């Protein structure tokens, strides 16, 4: 277990360095720089002073070495756009994205897994067919499209609070209520395709588990159907849990689109703004955090699988 964890941690570190360095290089290579984006026709002398103040007049290799030297000390530089430490910005925004992703995953799991048990426990039935059909539609929706649909629905019907709804919160309980209120729309938008995917996965896994020889043996021993189903669900969960690592990845990448549409101030929106502004240290910081979160999610899923399924543990 320890060797397993150590290997994964080293891999994660390499992934973070490569991803952030690549992002920094690409941001540098993109046409224009942060100062150019201040507008055409600006006084060239003033632009030159601005570039010097930001260190953009130095060769890229020098900028990169300086950045890397600070980055290993967890100093990711200062954002040109926000004039704040990149580390503080990405941590703040990652917390928002994590909140959104966690809410969406919880929502999707609470809806998708039970529905999957429902549809996988038996074949046939009008309601089961309707649920399967709906899942089929939703699972093919990219998060961008689901976010647009949910957003328009919210605005036209009032079923969900509007984008970035503002309200004053007095007490701590009020803050929690306010947060839940603001999170509702983006979380639903992100959770819809996830719930559908979980439903499909759980349904198929349960159907396969029910066909296992072990389940046949239980039925032959006279166990009630409910008890057999319980054992089959436990067996099927291993497949579903194993996929959470990949799901975390798609939640993270899907959240970028949802954040853009719903104006949720997360890492995705920050990265898009950073790229548009050519705020290269912020771009690198966002890439570093994104790859770190992804690596951590995959690792967590692997560890969870290790715990849940004794078959994957070494003898």
Partner 1 sequence: MDLRMLHHRLTVASAVAAVIGLVAFAVLRDRPASPEAPAPAARSVPVRPAGSGSVGPPRCDTTGGTLVAAIRGEPERFNPLVGAPDNTLDLLSHLLHGRLVRIDRETGELEPWLAERWTRSADGLSWTLALRRGVMFADGQPFTSADVLFTAELLYHPSANSALATAMTIGGRPLRFSAPDPHTVVVTFPAPYGPGLRLLDSLAILPRHRLAAALAAGRIRDVWTLASPHELVGLGPFVLARYEPGRRLILERNPRYWRVDAHGRRLPCLDRVVLEILGDANVEMLRLESGDLDLTWYEARPEDLARLRRLAAAGRLRLVDAGVGLDPNMLWFNLAPGAHAGDPRREWLLDTEFRRGLSHAVDRRAMVDSVFLGAGVPVGGVETPGNREWFRPGPVRFDYDLDRARERFAAAGLIDRDGDGRLEDRHGTPVRFSIITQRGHTIRERSVAFLQEQFRRVGVQVDIVGLDFGALVQRFAARRYDSIYFGLERTTTEPAANLDFWLTSGSFHVWNPSQPQPATAWERRIDELMLRLAASADPAERRRLYGEAQELLEEHVPVLTFVAPRIYLPVSTRVGGLRVSNLRPYVLWNADLLWLRRPGDTTP
For partner 1, the closer CB: 138 or 301 = 138
Residue choice 2, 29, 41, 59 for contact with partner 1 (CB under 8 A): 41
**Span 74-93, contacts to partner 1 by CB under 8 A:** 81-84, 88-89, 92-93
44 binds partner 1 (CB under 8 A): yes
137 binds partner 1 (CB under 8 A): yes
Least gap, CB of 33 to partner 1 (angstroms): 7
**Binding window for partner 1 (CB under 8 A); candidates: 5-13, 26-34, 55-63, 100-108:** 26-34
Considering Cα of 217, then 218, then 224, then 230, what sign does the dihedral take? negative
Least gap, CB of 183 to partner 1 (angstroms): 13
Residue choice 5, 30, 217, 307 for contact with partner 1 (CB under 8 A): 30
User: CA 49, CA 56: separation in Å to the nearest integer?
Assistant: 10
User: CA 260, CA 224: separation in Å to the nearest integer?
Assistant: 50
For partner 1, the closer CB: 20 or 151 = 151
For partner 1, the closer CB: 202 or 269 = 269
Least gap, CB of 74 to partner 1 (angstroms): 18
User: CA 278, CA 29: separation in Å to the nearest integer?
Assistant: 10
For partner 1, the closer CB: 164 or 224 = 164
Least gap, CB of 278 to partner 1 (angstroms): 5
Sequence-separated (6 or more) residues with CB below 8 Å from residue 124: none
For partner 1, the closer CB: 31 or 172 = 31
Sequence-separated (6 or more) residues with CB below 8 Å from residue 220: none
CA angle 136, 297, 117 (to 5 degrees): 35
**Span 99-128, contacts to partner 1 by CB under 8 A:** 126
Which pairs count as long-range contacts for 205-212, CB under 8 Å and 24+ apart, including other chains? 205/116, 205/120, 205/236, 205/237, 205/239, 205/240, 206/116, 206/117, 206/120, 206/121, 206/232, 206/233, 206/236, 207/120, 207/123, 208/236, 209/233, 209/235, 209/236, 210/120, 210/121
Give the per-residue contact string, 177-216, with partner 1 (x = CB under 8 A; - = no).
Answer: ----------------------------------------
Give the per-residue contact string, 142-181, with partner 1 (x = CB under 8 A; - = no).
Answer: -------x-xxxxxxxxx--xxxxx---------------
Q: How many chain residues are in contact with partner 1, going by CB under 8 A?
A: 58
User: CA 16, CA 218: separation in Å to the nearest integer?
Assistant: 48
User: CA 101, CA 95: separation in Å to the nearest integer?
Assistant: 10
276 binds partner 1 (CB under 8 A): yes
Least gap, CB of 197 to partner 1 (angstroms): 17
- With 0-12 / 13-18 / 19 or more C-beta atoms within 10 angstroms meaning exposed / middle / buried, residue 288 is buried
Q: Record the tokens describing residue 156, joined without a space.
A: 């036209």
Q: How many alpha carbons fall within 13 Å on the CB side of residue 193? A: 24
Q: Name the residues that contact partner 1, by CB under 8 A.
A: 30-33, 36-44, 46, 49-50, 53, 81-84, 88-89, 92-93, 96, 126, 129-130, 132-134, 136-137, 149, 151-159, 162-166, 261, 263, 265, 269-270, 273, 276-278
């Amino acid at each position: 277990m320890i060797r397993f964890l150590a290997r994964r941690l080293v891999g994660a570190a390499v992934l973070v360095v490569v991803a952030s360095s690549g992002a920094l290089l690409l941001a540098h290579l993109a046409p224009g720089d942060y100062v150019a984006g201040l507008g055409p026709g600006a006084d060239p002398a003033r632009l030159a002073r601005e570039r010097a103040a930001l260190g953009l007049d130095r060769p890229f290799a020098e900028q990169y070495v300086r950045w890397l030297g600070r980055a290993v000390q967890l100093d990711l530089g200062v954002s040109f756009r926000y004039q704040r430490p990149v580390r503080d910005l990405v941590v703040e925004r990652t917390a928002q994205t994590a909140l959104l992703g966690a809410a969406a995953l919880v929502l999707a799991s609470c809806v998708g897994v039970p529905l999957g048990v429902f549809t996988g426990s038996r074949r046939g039935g009008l309601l089961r067919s309707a649920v399967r059909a709906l899942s089929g539609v939703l699972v093919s929706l990219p998060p961008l499209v689901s976010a647009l649909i949910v957003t328009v629905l919210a605005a036209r019907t009032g079923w969900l609070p509007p984008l970035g709804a503002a309200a004053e919160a007095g007490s701590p309980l009020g803050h929690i209520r306010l947060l839940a209120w603001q999170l509702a729309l983006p979380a639903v938008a992100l959770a819809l395709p996830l719930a559908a995917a979980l439903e499909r996965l759980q349904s198929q896994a349960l159907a396969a588990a029910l066909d296992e020889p072990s389940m046949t043996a239980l039925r032959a021993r006279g166990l009630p159907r409910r008890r057999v189903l319980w054992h089959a669900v436990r067996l099927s969960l291993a497949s579903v849990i194993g996929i959470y690592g990949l799901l975390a990845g798609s939640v993270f990448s899907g959240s970028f689109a949802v954040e853009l549409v719903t104006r949720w101030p997360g890492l995705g929106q920050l990265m898009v703004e950073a790229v548009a502004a050519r705020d290269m240290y912020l771009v690198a910081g966002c890439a570093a955090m994104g790859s770190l979160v992804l690596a951590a999610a995959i690792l967590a899923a692997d560890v969870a699988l290790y715990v849940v399924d004794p078959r994957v543990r070494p003898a």
